[in-house]
C-alpha cells in the first residue's frame, strides 16, 4: 500500500490520520476499496452469467436490486468512515495516478456491457444468453433498467472526470455521458449548478416541500435550458452563434446521436425503446441524487446595493454522508461539501466537515426514501428545520408550500441569524489589474493573453469581463472573488 510522509498539524487529527507530531507514513485505508466502484459496470456481466447458469430472469434486474437493495443494506452494517487525509499529503495523493486509472477503467467496462445488452435486446446471442429461448419483453425491460442504472452511476464517473483541468479527462466525461444522452450535464453542472447551488435559481437544488416527482421535470428541463444559455453566452463573447460544433452542448449530444444510431444500425430498430428506457433511468438516477444533495438548503444574501449577492458556498449547504459502502461506490460523492468548496479536487482527497448536515444513511438508501415522498418528508423535513436552528424561513422552500411550512414550523422559529461576514472582495472594475487569480482553484486570467475559449480576446481588460462571469475551471468563484496578481506568462 502506498504511503505518504506527513507531519500533522498541532490540533487533534480526525480519525484515520496519523498521531500529532509524527513523521510516520500516512496510508489510505480505502486505497483498494476504491476498486469496488468497478463492480457497478460489471453488473451487466454478472447478470448475463447468472441467467446463463440458472435460467432465472431475475438476473436481468440486477441493477436496481443491487443499487436500491443490497447497497443500502450494506450501508446499514458497514458503518461510517470519517477519516480525512492530512493536509500535507493532499498534493501527493492527488498526483497518484492509481486513483484516476480506476475512474478511466469504468468507461470500457460500462460500454462493453451496454453494447452487449443492446445486442441481446436486439436478438443477438451475446454470451450465450439466448441459447435456450428468446427473452420476453419483461426480461428486456429489466435488462434496459439495469443498464440504465449502470449508466446513471456512469454519470457520477463523468462528474468526477468533468471537473478536472486536463482536456482528456473532460472528453472522457462526455463519452461517459453519451450512453444516457445527457451530455449537457457537463456544462450545466460545472458552470451552472456550482455557481447557483442552494439558491432558488438553481434547477438542480431541490426545495423544502418539493417531492422528487415535482423536482424531476423542473431539473431536467431547467438543466437543458441552462446549459444552452451558458454555451450561447460563451460563444456570443467570441462573436459566434450557438450552432457550431465547438458548442459543448451540441458536440456532446452529437456523440450520443452517433452512438445510438450505430447501435440501432447494428442491432435493429427494435432496440430503440430500450435505448430510451435506459437513458431515462440513467439520468433519473442522477437527478434523484441531485434531489437529496441540497434539499431545502439556501444561501443567504449578503452585501449592500449593487454588491448584494449570495453568500459563499459553505459546508452547511450540502447534505453529506460518511457511510463507507456508498462512498467507495460513488467515489466520495457523499462528501459533497468539500466537493463544492474544491470542485477540481480528486475524490480520494475529499474531506469530511463536522459542520456539514448529515443524512441518516448513505445516498443509496436515501434514493429509496426519495421515491416515496411521504416517507422522505417524515425523515427529512424536520432535519432541514433543525439545520436552520428552527427558523424555517431561512430554508429554500417550494413556493407552493411556503405559507404552509411557515405556519407549521412557526413555533420553532427565531429571528433570522445575521448573515456571515464576507471576506475582502475585488471590486468589479479595476482598470490597472493585469492578471487576476481564482482563490479556489488557482486559475489565472491574464489581460495580455485573454481566454479564447471563454470568448475573451487577448488584451480584454479585466474591467471588461462581465460582472457575472465565473471561473471556468472550478465554476465556483465569481469575478468579484478574484485576487489581483502578477502575470505568469508573456504573449509574443
The CATH number given to whatever domain includes residue 468 is 2.20.28.10
Number of separate helices (H) and strands (E) present in the chain: 17, 7
Collect the ranges in the chain with pLDDT lower than 70. 1-24, 126, 131-132, 411, 413-432, 489-492
Q: Residue 183's pLDDT is what?
A: 97
> CA-CA distance, 280 to 151, in Å (whole number)?
10
Written as nine digits, the cell of 268 is: 435493429
Distances from the Cα of 485 to the Cα of 102, 326, 444, 446, 455, angstroms: 37, 41, 8, 9, 21
- C-beta of residue 228 within 8 angstroms of C-beta of residue 242: yes
Residue 50 located in a structural domain: yes
Helix 373-387 with 363-370: angle, nearest 10 deg: 120
Dihedral pair phi/psi, residue 297, rounded to 5°: -75, 140
DSSP letter string, 227-282: HHHHHHHHHHHTT--S-STT-HHHHHHHHHHHHHHHHHHHH-GGGHHHHHHHHHHH
Residue 313 located in a structural domain: no
Q: Containing domain of residue 71, as a range?
A: 3-302
Count CB-CB contacts under 10 A for residue 245.
8
> CA-CA distance, 276 to 278, in Å (whole number)?
6
> CA-CA distance, 175 to 104, in Å (whole number)?
11
Instruction: Give the domain-ending residue among 254, 277, 302.
Output: 302
Of the CA atoms within 13 Å of residue 24, those in its CB half-sphere come to 10
Residue 70 located in a structural domain: yes
> CA-CA distance, 13 to 176, in Å (whole number)?
37
Written as nine digits, the cell of 62 is: 440486477
Q: Residue 413's pLDDT is what?
A: 59
Instruction: Give the domain-ending residue among 302, 333, 361.
Output: 302
> CA-CA distance, 313 to 145, in Å (whole number)?
35
Helix 248-267 with 272-293: angle, nearest 10 deg: 140
Residue 344 located in a structural domain: no
Number of domains observed in the structure of the chain: 2
pTM of the model: 0.85
> CA-CA distance, 56 to 408, in Å (whole number)?
50
Residue 371 located in a structural domain: no
- The contacts of residue 112 (CB under 8 Å, 6+ apart) are 44
Residue 379 located in a structural domain: no
- C-beta of residue 480 within 8 angstroms of C-beta of residue 309: yes
> CA-CA distance, 472 to 464, in Å (whole number)?
16
Dihedral pair phi/psi, residue 486, rounded to 5°: -80, 140
User: What is the chain's Cα-based Rg?
Assistant: 24
Q: Residue 425's pLDDT is what?
A: 39
> CA-CA distance, 440 to 419, in Å (whole number)?
22
Instruction: Give the domain-ending residue among 272, 302, 332.
Output: 302
- C-beta of residue 49 within 8 angstroms of C-beta of residue 116: no
Residue 324 located in a structural domain: no
- The candidate with the shortest Cα–Cα distance to 16, out of 26, 25, 6, 7, is 26
Q: Residue 437's pLDDT is what?
A: 87
Written as nine digits, the cell of 396 is: 429554500
Residue 356 located in a structural domain: no
Amino acid at each position: 500500500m502506498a504511503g505518504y510522509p506527513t507531519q500533522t498539524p498541532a490540533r487533534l487529527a480526525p480519525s484515520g490520520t496519523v498521531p500529532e507530531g509524527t513523521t510516520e507514513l500516512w496510508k489510505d485505508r480505502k486505497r483498494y476499496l476504491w476498486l469496488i466502484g468497478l463492480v457497478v459496470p460489471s453488473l451487466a456481466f454478472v447478470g448475463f452469467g447468472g441467467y446463463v447458469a440458472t435460467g432465472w430472469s431475475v438476473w436481468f434486474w440486477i441493477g436496481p436490486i443491487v443499487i436500491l437493495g443490497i447497497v443500502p443494506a450494506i450501508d446499514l452494517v458497514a458503518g461510517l468512515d470519517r477519516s480525512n487525509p492530512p493536509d500535507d499529503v493532499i498534493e501527493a495523493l492527488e498526483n497518484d495516478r492509481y486513483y484516476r486509472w480506476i475512474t478511466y477503467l469504468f468507461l470500457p467496462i460500462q460500454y462493453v456491457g451496454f453494447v452487449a445488452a443492446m445486442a441481446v435486446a436486439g436478438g443477438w446471442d451475446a454470451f450465450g444468453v439466448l441459447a435456450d429461448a428468446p427473452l420476453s419483453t419483461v426480461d428486456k425491460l429489466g435488462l434496459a433498467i439495469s443498464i440504465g442504472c449502470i449508466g446513471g452511476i456512469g454519470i457520477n464517473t463523468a462528474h468526477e472526470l468533468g471537473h478536472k483541468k486536463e482536456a482528456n479527462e473532460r472528453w472522457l466525461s462526455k463519452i461517459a455521458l453519451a450512453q444516457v444522452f445527457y451530455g449537457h450535464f457537463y456544462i450545466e453542472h460545472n458552470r451552472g449548478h456550482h455557481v447557483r447551488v442552494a439558491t432558488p435559481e438553481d434547477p438542480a437544488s431541490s426545495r423544502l416541500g418539493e417531492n422528487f416527482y415535482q423536482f424531476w421535470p423542473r431539473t431536467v428541463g431547467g438543466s437543458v435550458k441552462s446549459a444552452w444559455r451558458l454555451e450561447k453566452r460563451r460563444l456570443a463573447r467570441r462573436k459566434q452563434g450557438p450552432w457550431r460544433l465547438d458548442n459543448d452542448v451540441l458536440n456532446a449530444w452529437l456523440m450520443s446521436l452517433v452512438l445510438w444510431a450505430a447501435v440501432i444500425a447494428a442491432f435493429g430498430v427494435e432496440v430503440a425503446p430500450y435505448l430510451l428506457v435506459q437513458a431515462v433511468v440513467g439520468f433519473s438516477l442522477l437527478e434523484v441524487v441531485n434531489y437529496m444533495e441540497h434539499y431545502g438548503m439556501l444561501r443567504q444574501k449578503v452585501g449592500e446595493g449593487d454588491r448584494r449577492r449570495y453568500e459563499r458556498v459553505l459546508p452547511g449547504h450540502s447534505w453529506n454522508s460518511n457511510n463507507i459502502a456508498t462512498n467507495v461506490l460513488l467515489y466520495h460523492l457523499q462528501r459533497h461539501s468539500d466537493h463544492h468548496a474544491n470542485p477540481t479536487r480528486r475524490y480520494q482527497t475529499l474531506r469530511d466537515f463536522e459542520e456539514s448536515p448529515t443524512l441518516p444513511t448513505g445516498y443509496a438508501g436515501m434514493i429509496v426514501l426519495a421515491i416515496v415522498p411521504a416517507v422522505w418528508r417524515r425523515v427529512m423535513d424536520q432535519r432541514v428545520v433543525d439545520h436552520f436552528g428552527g427558523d424555517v424561513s431561512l430554508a429554500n422552500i417550494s413556493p407552493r408550500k411556503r405559507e404552509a411550512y411557515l405556519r407549521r414550523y412557526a413555533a420553532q422559529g427565531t429571528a433570522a441569524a445575521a448573515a456571515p461576514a464576507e471576506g475582502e472582495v475585488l471590486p468589479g472594475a479595476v482598470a490597472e489589474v493585469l492578471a487576476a487569480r481564482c482563490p479556489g482553484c488557482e486559475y489565472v486570467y491574464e489581460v495580455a493573453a485573454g481566454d479564447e475559449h471563454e470568448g475573451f480576446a487577448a488584451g480584454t481588460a479585466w474591467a471588461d469581463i462581465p460582472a457575472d462571469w465565473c471561473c471556468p475551471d472550478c465554476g465556483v468563484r465569481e469575478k468579484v472573488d478574484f485576487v489581483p496578481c502578477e502575470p505568469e506568462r508573456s504573449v509574443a
